[in-house]
Chains A and B, each alone.
Chain A
Amino acid sequence: MTAIARPAPAPAPTSGLVASLLRSRRLVQRNLLVYKRGWMVIFSGFFEPLFYLLGIGYGLGTLVGDVPLADGRSISYAAFVAPALLATASMNGAIAESIFNVFFKLNFSRTYDAILATPLGIREIAVGEMLWSLFRGTLYVVAFVLVMIGMGLVISPLLFLVIPASILIGASFSAACLAASAYLRTVQDFDLPMGLVIMPMFLFSGTFFPISVYPEPIQLAMELTPLFHAVELLRGLATGALGWHQLWDLAYLVAFGSIAMWIALNRLEQRLIK
């Protein structure tokens, strides 16, 4: 399980942001090596949002009919739900990669203890895991956006902005998941955050229907969640129903991701450096 660190080709410069980023790529390289044997796990991940799109978007869509947008237009339920599925896929990808896998490496396989014996430090590990998660997520995002375009579900000229926006969403969720994984101690610890945070967000944050169906206080609570802003941002870009509030969504996600990354770095340092 633990990789034997190969002798570094040349003593890498020890400080500086660029040097640090360059070292992080070693972790991406490591994960790539590991997945060479488990590529099916990565490949199959693409089908999850696709099946949801077919099942919920079209199957349920025939029962729902059209959905009104904020700017007064009505769109098909599939077009309404597709950007939300993209946002939740980014979130779920981050959970799989940055909570479960990182937790396992931190507590069971002790991969990081081995990695810290190389020139890589905490910052490089955290950034490396995030880059890896983004690499994997971007594959899914691009594939899913192509499917959306093929099915005529991206009805806005800004469609290519959907891809960078999804990557930003993946990055901020990945940072949050890294922070969470550094706090979890046992497998049972997962139940609470998954049941009390992730699932309610998945179901209530405007993914499957507009949050306007709720009473005011619940609407306000939902507007505080990161998934709500992710869904709003992508739905705006995909449907063309854009307004100033998308800038607010963008700012929220950047701030959320940055704070989470800061927490993750501090907590990982506490856990790994003794």
Chain B
Amino acid sequence: MAVIAGSRPGPPPLTGALEGALAGAARVVQRNLLVYRRTWRGSLFGSFLTPLLYLTAMGIGLSQLMASGGTTALGGVEYLDFLGPGILASSCMQTASFESTFPIMGKIAWRRNYEAILATPIEVHHLLIGELSWIGFRLTTMATAFMIVLTLFGIPRSPLALLAIPAAVLTGVAFAAPIMGFAATRHNDAGFAPLFRFIINPLFLFSGTFFPVSQLPDAVEWVAAATPLYHGVVLVRGAVLDNMPSTWPLHLAYLVVFTAITGYIAYRLLRRRLVK
């Protein structure tokens, strides 16, 4: 399990700070890729199946019930078109959140991979950037698979829809950063169930994935609008349906700033946990 540092041909020359961080992060990604080589089939299969099932069931089944209600509340689009991009953004949130809890906890406390890794020239910030990049990579493959399914359903309006992929990936990473920080403070997995039940699942249900947040009471609407998923859903839906609101730079800036701040906090927490 533990990598024996001395047996490698030699540590990579780490010159500049940024260059060093990128080289270190690349090593972390490389390690995860090695592990993933054994399990990618199952996760790729899931990446296609989940959107396919959700869109078939909710999109087609529910839109039949809605036929009489009209689509004015949805901004004039069919329910299937409304739902598809919403599920894309929230699936990225769910995957990124899961990947930031149990696997990270395992590497910190159960298998102690990080202890082994930190015995090499790799430092805590390389680790964090590496893990976040790894999740970004996983989300990119997932979002691409999702986009293929959306295309099969005829949902994207123009080639600009491809911009939804980076938007969805950014949405996921915005969750990965704070949750990794949270995982770094935990000594067992008991905190993860409440995290999913009180934060991730409610966001999945109330951040504009299944219905516009304008359907919610005002107070709840404000809470929803303060969360990263809401902004991610706006961007992804705008790109896929080619009706991006003019406020898009604000939504994008929210996600970038949120990720940067929570990423820094996660770094401090990881450091406190791993460096004695």
Name A residues whose Cβ lies closer than 8 Å to a Cβ of B: 37-38, 40-41, 44-45, 47-48, 51-52, 54-56, 59-60, 62-65, 67, 77, 188, 191-192, 195-196, 199-200, 203-204, 208-209, 213-214
**B190 and A41 contact, CB distance less than 8 A:** yes
The SS class assigned to the A binding surface is helix
**B69 and A60 contact, CB distance less than 8 A:** no
- Nearest CB of B to A234, in Å: 19
A52-B205, A213-B61 known, 12 other contacts, Cβ within 8 Å: A40-B193, A41-B190, A41-B194, A48-B197, A55-B210, A59-B210, A63-B215, A65-B65, A65-B69, A199-B53, A209-B64, A213-B60
Chain A to chain B: the 4 pairs with minimum beta-carbon distance, closest first: A55-B205, A203-B57, A191-B42, A44-B197
**B205 and A51 contact, CB distance less than 8 A:** yes
**A63 and B211 contact, CB distance less than 8 A:** yes
Closest A residue, CB atoms, query B191 = A40
Which B residues are in CB contact (< 8 Å) with A55?
202, 205-206, 210
**B193 and A63 contact, CB distance less than 8 A:** no
Identify which of A44, A62, A191, A200 contacts B43 (C-beta below 8 A).
Answer: A191
**Chain B interface category by residue count:** 35 or more
Name B residues whose Cβ lies closer than 8 Å to a Cβ of A: 39, 42-43, 45-46, 49-50, 53-54, 56-58, 60-62, 64-66, 68-69, 73-74, 79, 188, 190-191, 193-194, 197-198, 201-202, 205-206, 210-211, 215-216
Which A residues are in CB contact (< 8 Å) with B65?
64-65, 67, 77, 209, 213
**A192 and B58 contact, CB distance less than 8 A:** no
**A203 and B53 contact, CB distance less than 8 A:** yes
Identify which of A40, A47, A48, A63 contacts B66 (C-beta below 8 A).
Answer: A63
Identify which of A38, A45, A188 contacts B190 (C-beta below 8 A).
Answer: A38
Which B residues are in CB contact (< 8 Å) with A62?
73, 211, 215
Docked pose: A37 CA to B64 CA in angstroms: 47
Docked pose: A48 CA to B190 CA in angstroms: 16
Which B residues are in CB contact (< 8 Å) with A77?
65
Q: Please, could you name 17 A-B residue pairs with CB atoms under 8 Å apart, sorted by A? A: A41-B193, A48-B197, A51-B205, A55-B202, A59-B211, A59-B215, A60-B211, A63-B79, A64-B66, A64-B69, A65-B69, A188-B39, A191-B42, A192-B42, A204-B57, A208-B57, A209-B62
Identify which of B62, B198, B206 contacts A64 (C-beta below 8 A).
Answer: B62
**B50 and A199 contact, CB distance less than 8 A:** yes
- Nearest CB of B to A31, in Å: 14
Docked pose: A116 CA to B176 CA in angstroms: 41
Which B residues are in CB contact (< 8 Å) with A191?
42-43, 45-46
Docked pose: A60 CA to B57 CA in angstroms: 14
**B64 and A45 contact, CB distance less than 8 A:** no
Closest B residue, CB atoms, query A67 = B65
**B74 and A63 contact, CB distance less than 8 A:** yes
**B69 and A63 contact, CB distance less than 8 A:** yes
Which A residues are in CB contact (< 8 Å) with B79?
63
- Nearest CB of A to B61, in Å: 4
